[in-house]
Structure 1
Amino acid sequence: MTRILIADDHHVVRTGLRAVLEAQPGLEVVGEVGNGEEAVEAAVRLKPDLVILDYAMPVHNGVEATREIRKQLPRTEVLIFTLHDSQEVIEDVLSVGARGYLLKSDANDHLIAAVRALARHEAYISGRVSAELLDTLLDRRRQGKQDPLTPRERRVVQLIAEGRSNRDVCGQLGVSLKTVETHRAAAMRKLGLHNTADLVRYAIKNRIVEV
């Protein structure tokens, strides 16, 4: 039995995925969540074989959630489920451990095939970027410039770019205001940014948040 966790911020999407998956023999949906932070928490608690994860989610986006899930549960596979047919997005999610990438527009024809492949620990990519490019994309990412931000700095940038105040970020992350200000200042210094507008533009350009 392949145990699956669904993470998408749209209830109708989660409901539809559950109905399709549970109609298939050998597949069991063990949970549904609506944001990236909940996805990480539920994955650690439920230890599913596979997480179907929307790329554009609040709190933790798909990259951050995938990084944490794969770090804590290396045997759990991640299938990114997204509207974005983008080589850059694929590179981002592959670099943090996802091995599946399925366009929502391809779900009717490819969802079960993608789930079955990942259950066998095989890669599956739909869309214009074919599976044959998997190794090339990973090699390019490894040889490219490393992310200048730490995971915590990147999360602070995401939350601020989503419109949250420093105090809101404190509550979200469970840290002090001084810690948030330190992470924010460090991120802006590393990136050569000067104000919040610059930070938001950087987050959008580098797909830390979606617009």
Structure 2
Amino acid sequence: MMKKKTIVIVDDHLLFAQSLESLISKLEEYEVLAILKNGKELTQYYMHKRRVPDLILLDVKMPVMDGIQTMQWLKEHRPEQKVLALTMEDDEDTIIKMLRGGAKGYLLKDIHPENFEFAMKMVIEQGFYYSGKIESALRHAEDGQPKRNLHEKLTEREWKFLKYACTELTYKDIAGEMGLSPKTIENYREAVFKKLEVKTRVGLVIHCMRHNLIKID
């Protein structure tokens, strides 16, 4: 008998969570262990030594303890736990915070069921996935270049900008940290995006994670 992959759903919208559980229950390879309303309930789930799931499906906007706070807790207490964000939030700041927190994938809730199943499989087996809607916004080349060659594309100043760009600092904050004008930072951004063949700041963060260019704390 095939061993099923286990899922825990963390979402405060009960109707959505139950519909999601129903969808997953129809897939032969998966089973849902629990539906939890927020990150606090997830921490209690672990504290009661319940069965550790292969994957957590995590909403971002929740009361008591939201997705970003939950990722911070998991990063400290359960860093090996694979998490797939499943949310309506598609703003750049939220995506970057979830990625930096350790989320292995980011899906929007309007994803097609077949793509959803594929996403779960990819995160569990390969460790990384982004929905087509997010991926298209972050489109960048996967040319397989080694870290050294990618590094050599950037000047020392551009490399410094890259490190700051992968934090939660705004571009204005980065200008202040580097002692440069916002216009100069804008020029660095365009140069780095072009050299690394990315189109957005989120795409830049994903690119750095995939190529292990910098450490994402």
TM-score (norm 1): 0.60
Partner of 1:122: 127
For 1:50, the equivalent position in structure 2 comes to 55
Q: Which residue of structure 2 lines up, in the alignment, with residue 92 of structure 1?
A: 97
Question: Is the Cα–Cα contact under 8 Å of residues 59 and 67 in structure 2 kept in the other structure?
Answer: yes
The structural deviation recorded for 1:43 is 4.2
Instruction: Give the whole-Å Cα distance in 2 for the aligned partners of 1:2 and 1:142.
Output: 36
* Structure 2: gaps (5+ residues): 143-161, 170-217
Structure 1 stretch displaced more, 46-55 or 120-129: 120-129
Q: Residue type of the partner of 2:37?
A: G
Matches of 1:145 and 1:92, distance apart in 2: 7
Partner of residue 19 from structure 1, selected from 22, 26, 30: 22
Query: Taking structure 1 as reference, are residues 144 and 7 closer, same or farther at Cα in structure 2, changes over 3 Å only?
Result: closer
Structure 1 unmatched ranges of 5 or more = 147-211
Matched position secondary structure for 2:83: strand
Percent identity of equivalent pairs: 27
Q: CA deviation at 1:66?
A: 1.5
Q: Check if 1:62 corresponds to 2:67.
A: yes
> Shift in Å at residue 36 of structure 1?
1.7
Give RMSD over aligned pairs.
2.7
What TM-score does the superposition give when structure 2 sets the normalisation length?
Answer: 0.59
The structure with more radius of gyration: 2
Question: Where does structure 1 differ by over 6 angstroms across 4 or more consecutive aligned residues?
Answer: none
**Alpha-carbon shift at residue 107 of structure 1 (Å):** 4.4
TM-aligned CA deviation for residue 53 of structure 1: 0.7
SS in 2 for 1:116: helix
Alignment correspondent of 2:37: 34
Structure 2: how far apart are the matches of 1:107 and 1:9?
A: 21
Q: CA deviation at 1:35?
A: 1.4
Give, in angstroms, the shift of residue 20 of structure 1.
0.9
Deviations 1:172-203 (A, max 9, x none): xxxxxxxxxxxxxxxxxxxxxxxxxxxxxxxx
Aligned pair count reads 144
Question: How far, CA to CA, are the matches of 1:65 and 1:141 in structure 2?
Answer: 24
Counterpart CA distance in 2 for 1:109 and 1:5 is 19
- CA displacement at 1:86 relative to structure 2: 1.9
Q: Does the C-alpha gap of structure 1 residues 33 and 145 become closer, same or farther in structure 2, counting only changes over 3 Å?
A: closer
Q: Secondary structure at the match of 1:106?
A: coil
* Residues 24 and 86 of structure 1: CA distance in aligned 2, closer, same or farther (over 3 Å): same
State the one-letter code of the partner of 2:167. G
Cα 1:103–1:54, aligned 2, differ >3 Å: closer, same or farther? same
- Higher share in helix: 1
Q: Is the 8 A contact 2:107 2:134 kept in 1?
A: no
